[in-house]
Amino acid sequence: MTTATKTAIANGAVEVQRKASSDADAVQGGVNIVAIVGSFHRNLLALQQSGVRGEELFNHPISLSFTSKLNSLCRMTHDRELDALGAVRRIERGEAVEYEVIPL
């Protein structure tokens, strides 16, 4: 069984997409996770309001760029992700958890 590949167009002629691309590029050198997440949120909402939704939003180059930056800042690996998900469940149950802090 072959799955057809779906594509979409990211349109630099649309100001919302151009501004979001500029922000996504600008945060690549940043280390302030709160500012990066805030910018990601603001730009995703703007893209959504401009009609980019669902799978097209999840896979948009701007979403991938911000996600890449967050993965980089958090030093994300598969094991680190699994450890974090387990820790979240324990915190949710009211437990304290110890976690590794990897310096920037």
Tens place of pLDDT per residue across the chain (104 aa): 667 789 999 999 999 999 999 999 999 999 999 999 999 999 999 999 999 999 999 999 999 999 999 999 999 999 999 999 999 999 999 999 999 999 98
Instruction: Determine whether 70 is exposed, middle or buried from the number of CB atoms within 10 Å of its CB (0-12, 13-18, 19+).
Output: middle
pTM of the model as a whole: 0.89
Instruction: Determine whether 40 is exposed, middle or buried from the number of CB atoms within 10 Å of its CB (0-12, 13-18, 19+).
Output: buried
Q: Please answer whether residues 36 and 30 qualify as being in contact, where contact means their C-beta atoms are separated by less than 8 angstroms.
A: yes
**How many C-beta atoms lie closer than 10 Å to residue 54's C-beta?**
8
The reported pLDDT for the residue numbered 104 is: 85
The reported pLDDT for the residue numbered 1 is: 66
Place of tokens 């598969």: 78
The reported pLDDT for the residue numbered 3 is: 76
Maximum C-alpha span of the chain: 50
Instruction: Determine whether 66 is exposed, middle or buried from the number of CB atoms within 10 Å of its CB (0-12, 13-18, 19+).
Output: buried
Q: Which is nearest to 8 in space by CA: 62, 57, 70?
A: 57
